[in-house]
Amino acid sequence: MQHTPEHQRKRQSNRSPFLVDLVAENERIDEENEVRQRAIARKQKALEREKERAENESVLRALHEGKELGNLRLEKRKILDEEKRLKALIEIEKTNAHRKDHRQAAILAEKRRHASKIEQRRAGNMQTITDREATRMKLLCNKHNLKPKCSI
């Protein structure tokens, strides 16, 4: 192969930085940066929408719990009124009863009713605690994007 001086000069200048179209290279870099910025903006908007949805969900849940608490208070008031009525009936029964066994039966019934009421209240409180803990775990799993352990 014969290497002429012109051929040799072309071969050496192939690696020259002056052969690169700097304007085109700059436009390509600008376009890549613009595409990257748009992708970042899309991700941020999606995160903001998810955050807003989670906040709205929390507010709705809080409002629902407020209504639930109001209902629980009303139910507690009814229970207390019923207790007073039953205590009054027991007192009347005690004063009217001539026999000891009637009074003992009334007391035993009162104790059973009281124990039952305590057990129902305890079961309700445990259910409320379990529900709130499950909700808290779901929120934490959603917040941290965890799936496997959030099957509560």
pLDDT, one tens digit per residue, over 21-46 is 778 888 999 999 999 999 999 999 99
Q: Using the structure block, give the residue that is written with the tokens 């998810």.
A: 50
pLDDT, one tens digit per residue, over 42-78 is 999 999 999 999 898 888 887 777 778 888 888 999 9
Dump strand ranges (E) for 19-140.
none
Q: Using the structure block, give the residue that is written with the tokens 């379990």.
A: 130
pTM of the model: 0.34
Q: So what's the pLDDT on residue 98?
A: 63
Please state, rounded to an integer, the average pLDDT across all residues of the chain.
84
At residue 125, what is the residue type? N
Q: Compute, in degrees rounded to 10, the torsion defined by CA atoms 55, 60, 62, 63.
A: 140
Q: Using the structure block, give the residue that is written with the tokens 């014969």.
A: 2
